[in-house]
A and B are shown apart, each in its own frame.
Chain A
């Protein structure tokens, strides 16, 4: 399972980013590898439709779960179309702490997967 945390910086110790479409970075944890993949979010600098283009790249990475603060209407519809689940970030969290909280089952559901 791939789990993505929206991040303000390109490390696991960076502060998580409350925004999804306009988050600076995506940190992707993959159950099969120890090192997370870190990528820039193309929505960060997009003039239009940040939520859509961010979702598109999340789907291309075959992410199953997104952990973020808020989802806009376009992001909600995009993630639903892509069959992705979202959970809410704990407040004032680092990327690593957010992932650990998710693994411990402590996070609130933000968007259920559409089947």
Chain B
């Protein structure tokens, strides 16, 4: 069973909610924000294993290639250039679909693996912690997220999603059982929250809202929640003490008041997802 933590807007507190909630619920934490995975800064697990994530890209045997352009014409991502004396591959544009290898009549294309990042596993006490890390400069996070999700055993997982509503967010939220939407009571927050809401709606994933950095007046979000029929299951106050603890790399659940807040939020999540264990 998987719970995704999304936000739309960046910096609303996805990781803060995901690491603290995973800790009070004693479930697996999975950092799917592969371009900026920072959950391990708070959980500080002892890393036990690391595995490269590979993407298959074509390798052209120029001795067999007749430059017929069949591969170039079939590539949907413009990763192959047929100009000049030989076919050139732009490997960062390649989506690893394998079509060029299939259409080549001269068996001049073979696939070779290319490392685009890695997944890491560790433990914080008994808590399992996973994260995906995309190599800086690499454009595609989805294969890392897919590799990460493939490795998860049964039991509850808290998936910390990337911001936005792009392919990486879809890859994280797809096939999850529940989504926690973390937002802030600002126009920007509500605007991007709506994009995240539309993503989970399309994916058929149920969701609930957590309002972070609440200063008391959350009407912007409450109105949105009421209009769209999404329950608000938690409200985390704007707090200098919390910001300072986060800046020190600490879990908020180490502070008694915040532990109580996250336990309450955890109970609400358990009720909504039917988590009995």
Contacts and interface: CB of A to CB of B under 8 A. Distances in A.
Residue from the set A48, A58, A82 with the largest chain B CB neighbour count within 10 Å: A48
B78 A52 contact: yes
Contacts of B77: 47-49
Interface in B56-87: 72, 76-84, 86
B93 interface: yes
Contacts of A49: 77-79, 90, 93
A26 to B, nearest CB: 14
A12 to B, nearest CB: 25
B78 A48 contact: yes
Contacts, number: 49
B88 interface: yes
Contacts of B80: 52
B90 A53 contact: no
Contacts of A78: 81, 83, 88, 90
A49 B90 CA distance: 9
Interface residues on B, range: 10 to 19
Contacts of B79: 48-49, 52
Residue from the set A49, A55, A58, A74 with the largest chain B CB neighbour count within 10 Å: A49
Contacts of B90: 49, 52, 74, 77-78
Contact of A83 (B78, B81, B84, B93): B84
Given A48-B93, A49-B90, A74-B93, A59 B78 contact: no
Interface in B91-106: 93
A56 B76 contact: no
A83 B83 CA distance: 9
B84 A52 contact: no
Nearest to A84: B83
Interface in A48-77: 48-50, 52-53, 55-56, 58-60, 74, 77
Interface of chain A: mostly helix, strand, loop or mixed: helix
B68 to A, nearest CB: 14
B125 to A, nearest CB: 44
Residue from the set B72, B80, B90, B93 with the largest chain A CB neighbour count within 10 Å: B90
B33 to A, nearest CB: 23
A61 to B, nearest CB: 10
Residue from the set B76, B77, B82, B83 with the largest chain A CB neighbour count within 10 Å: B83
Given A52-B93, A56-B83, A46 B78 contact: yes
Nearest to B88: A81
A78 B93 CA distance: 13
A48 B81 contact: no
17 contacts: A49-B79, A49-B93, A52-B78, A52-B80, A52-B90, A53-B78, A56-B83, A58-B83, A59-B84, A77-B90, A78-B83, A78-B90, A81-B81, A81-B83, A81-B86, A81-B88, A82-B83
Interface of A: 46-50, 52-53, 55-56, 58-60, 74, 77-78, 81-83
Interface of B: 72, 76-84, 86, 88, 90, 93
